[in-house]
Structure 1
Amino acid sequence: MIAEFTAADSGAAPLTWGQRAIWDAITVTAPEDHYFNFGRVLKVPGTRSPAEVLAALAGLQALHSALRTRLDLSGDQPRQRTERAGRLPVRLATGDPDAVLAELEAERFDYERDWPLRVALVLDGDRVGHVAIAFCHLATDGLGAEIALRDLRMLILRGAPAGGPPPPGPLDLAHWQAGPEGRRTAERAAALWEGTAREVMFDRPTAAPDRPRIWRGLLDSPAAGLAVRAVAARHGTTTATVLLAATAAVVGRFTDRSGCAMLPIVSNRFRRDTTRIVSTLSQEGLFVVGVDRGFGDLLRETEPAALRAYRSAFHDPLDRARGQWVQPLCCFNDMRFTEPGPRPCAPADILAALPRTELSWPLSQEQLNCRFCVHISGALEISVTADTAYLSRADIERVLLGLESMLLTEAGAVTGPGSGLG
């Protein structure tokens, strides 16, 4: 089926900083850049026909210009091109919505020709039960996708999005970033990058790589989920800070360093005019911390180091290329939309959950723009994606179990030095 949209705006501009950052990652990872595709499933409220949902999808693309923006690669530098009108192909499907979404995500986008989203209506009889949407990462990041889904739900329910002025789009953001205020912001971020020691974590190959070269290990650990909340409660901090500090400790000690440099992925949605924008704003910040200390001291150092990383994340990647900024090749991405708060937990309860830990290998491919990346999701799912020339599959497993061990040790559930090496 077809969702035909018409909007009030169109135009072209250079890429925004967030678009440039993900484009640089895509070009290194191609042709396996479907790695960056991600998606959402929306349960359709009420009883809606395919035609009603198609009308809502057309309204969504009219509202958010990022969803009708493609690349122009004809010049020396890529540019974004927003279309005023067009036709979005929409698939009809039945069965498990998550399986339908996985099919949509599995194919790489043609960035010049494809609209930056793929949609399937998952039918329940003659009505639409769910909408599965796979997003191109050039169009939006995870928080932007949540905004899009909220607006799609309102369009289905009421035929109109939430009230207020129309949200800005990536063209507006590109013009601001090129202006005086944007350049001042970029210069402040550049000063933070340029004033930091040039530490690279995984700088030496350790073995012949596997084939495929890139592997992801995924640890689903209810025990670590309880432990991280208990540690946060003990130290009066957040679970995000605990996980960032624990990852830095394990990586630093695993690579035999007294310090750790990582690139946390930061949402960059701190400005009032970006709260409703559907676009790719998330970028890497620079986080550097010493790890040759006790965990309590490490946590205290992590908080200000994380704030510096947040300030460095809203930057112009072209400045980064010109300035030869440090490339630690070590990333950290906390993808949780809601963070469970600190909560004490008895060590016996944490230990009781330990047998439910599961380790799996959900991804392998040949190319990636990073040598080591930690992703945090769910109640507590920790994944490590790594280049096996620098971290073997056995070592990926050791890092994951080491993180679990460190969290349980700091929560008092197990005894030991908490070395983070399992």
Structure 2
Amino acid sequence: MDIRFSGSRSETAPLTWGQRAIWDTIRKTAPDDHYFNFGRVLAVPRRARPLTVAGAAEVLRALVERHESLRTRLGEAPRGRTVHAGSEDGAEPWQVLSTGGSVPVTVSEGDPERLRDALAETAFDYGNEWPLRIGLVVDRDEVTHIVLVFCHLAADGLGAEVAVTDLRLLLLRGSVPGPPPPSPLELARWQGSEQGLKVAAVAAEHWASEYRRIPPTMFDRRAGVPSDPPIWRALLVSRAMDLAVRRIAALSGASTSTVLLTAASVLAGRVTGHDLSAMLPIVGNRFRGDTVNAVTTLSQEGLFVLDLREGGFTELLRAAKPAALRAYRSAYHDPGDRDRLTERAGRERGALIHPYCCFNDMRFADRVDASPDEASVRRALEETTLTWPLSQERLNCRFCLHVTGEPGGLGVSLTADTGYLPRPAMERYLLDLESLLVEAAFREVLEPVG
């Protein structure tokens, strides 16, 4: 079946900073760019049941009409309009908002998570396909679950959560209070305004100064013949690490994300032999009040730099807090500025400047707790699991660390190019990360981070 929608306008605009950042990443990962698809499963609330297929179609129509990003695709720039200097061969697409159309819906009687994975397993047709795939799971003609799979050009993780929240409200109340948040069109216009250019200039100063001192590349030494395929992901699920991180955060006054970013940077420096560890944390960029509830892709990379010669873990954690704040501010940047700075720094230093070392904390809550004792944390080490859930041919990075909340504890997955970090070294990195944090929770004299 199809869901027909009708919006209020049809326009084109340059890509936003977030769209340009993810589009560059998608291009460099193709044909394995389905890697960036992600989905959400919403169990229909009890108070909204029984829900018919027609009723579900109606609320989904309202969702697509509320959020313009869900009916925005890629198209050619208008004739005579220039694009930023960093785009490959000068041909960067624009965003094209359509007034009306229809989104196909898959109806299934199967497992909703399996349906989500099936809808996400192929790359989007960015110029012709709507950036939202929809599935309905039915039982005896009643819809029990709604599955949404997003193109990363239309939403990031936080944007997807907004969409799911709005969908729940539509199911329960029939409407979402308040006007729609800014669309990608409005964001693109603001980013091109005088105020937006000032924000971009501040971020560019940070990238320029750090590019002068960081290692050109963190993972700069080939380790031998890569695996086949070369890109692998290892997933460590550890309740012990979860308890240790919460304890360190509670005692030090840092967030659990800063604790993990610090530890990840320390070990990245050890593995690569660099005293300055440079990492690219993925930042949500929802600091402005009007973008908090925007369904779009705002997430971009910031630049986090930590001097590992500053001392032990406690001292490094203290230094990491202001460094993390600088990194977060640098994430809301114009990718064209970054491209120009990268090119200039490369010429000055005679080497390509790119850390190829990413950190993405995908959790939505930060819980701290100083109460776990050492014995219980060490017993929890026996529950740790390590699996290999993904492999593929291409990725635009060499080292990507993702943090998730899992039923068995903290999930830390490492996706890496085995030509630079072989699978045994990937496994050792994750286990060493767990050990470092467990030891720091009870062996370091943790001082509050100011």
Give the TM-score taking structure 1 as reference length. Answer: 0.96
1:302 matched residue in structure 2? 320
1:314 matched residue in structure 2? 332
2:222 pairs with one of 198, 205, 219: 205
SS in 2 for 1:114: coil
2:235 pairs with one of 203, 218, 221: 218
State whether structure 2 residue 37 is matched by structure 1 residue 19.
Answer: no
Deviates more, 1:289-298 or 1:262-271: 289-298
Deviations 1:351-385 (A, max 9, x none): 11111100000010010010001000014100110
SS in 2 for 1:277: coil
In 1, the alpha carbon distance for the partners of 2:64 and 2:72 equals 10
Q: Which amino acid aligns with 2:7?
A: A
Q: After superposition, where does 1:18-417 map in structure 2 within 5 Å? A: 18-45=18-45, 46-73=49-76, 76-161=91-176, 163-196=177-210, 197-199=213-215, 200-292=217-309, 293-324=311-342, 326-378=353-405, 379-412=409-442
Q: Which amino acid aligns with 1:126?
A: D
Deviation, structure 1 residue 9: 2.4
Deviations 1:16-67 (A, max 9, x none): 0000000000000000000000010011122210101101111111000000
Deviations 1:186-243 (A, max 9, x none): 1111011001123221012111111101000000011111111112222222211110
Deviations 1:172-193 (A, max 9, x none): 0001111111111111110110
Q: Which amino acid aligns with 1:194?
A: A
Task: Say whether the 8 Å CA contact 1:334–1:376 is kept in structure 2.
Answer: yes
Give the TM-score taking structure 2 as reference length. Answer: 0.90
Task: Say whether the 8 Å CA contact 1:234–1:344 is kept in structure 2.
Answer: no
SS in 2 for 1:107: coil
Task: Say whether the 8 Å CA contact 1:238–1:342 is kept in structure 2.
Answer: no
In 2, the alpha carbon distance for the partners of 1:207 and 1:103 equals 35
Task: Say whether the 8 Å CA contact 2:134–2:146 is kept in structure 1.
Answer: yes
Deviations 1:112-157 (A, max 9, x none): 0100011100012111000011100000100000000111111122
Q: Which amino acid aligns with 1:315?
A: H
SS in 2 for 1:350: helix
Deviation, structure 1 residue 338: 1.0
Deviation, structure 1 residue 344: 2.6
In 2, the alpha carbon distance for the partners of 1:234 and 1:66 equals 42
SS in 1 for 2:186: helix
Deviates more, 1:140-149 or 1:39-48: 39-48
Deviation, structure 1 residue 345: 1.0
Q: Identity rate of aligned residues, in percent?
A: 52
In 1, the alpha carbon distance for the partners of 2:96 and 2:35 equals 23
* Structure 1: gaps spanning 5 or more residues: 417-422
Task: Say whether the 8 Å CA contact 2:21–2:335 is kept in structure 1.
Answer: yes
Deviation, structure 1 residue 2: 1.1
Deviations 1:304-341 (A, max 9, x none): 00000011000010111112164111000000011222
In 1, the alpha carbon distance for the partners of 2:77 and 2:302 equals 30
SS in 1 for 2:389: strand
Q: Which amino acid aligns with 1:366?
A: E
2:83 matched residue in structure 1? none
Q: Which amino acid aligns with 2:155?
A: T
Root-mean-square deviation (CA), in Å? 1.3
Deviates more, 1:271-280 or 1:25-34: 271-280
SS in 2 for 1:181: helix
In 2, the alpha carbon distance for the partners of 1:241 and 1:166 equals 32
* Structure 2: gaps spanning 5 or more residues: 79-90, 346-352, 445-450
2:348 matched residue in structure 1? none
Task: Say whether the 8 Å CA contact 1:266–1:284 is kept in structure 2.
Answer: yes
Task: Say whether the 8 Å CA contact 2:214–2:276 is kept in structure 1.
Answer: no
SS in 2 for 1:360: strand
Task: Say whether the 8 Å CA contact 1:261–1:330 is kept in structure 2.
Answer: yes
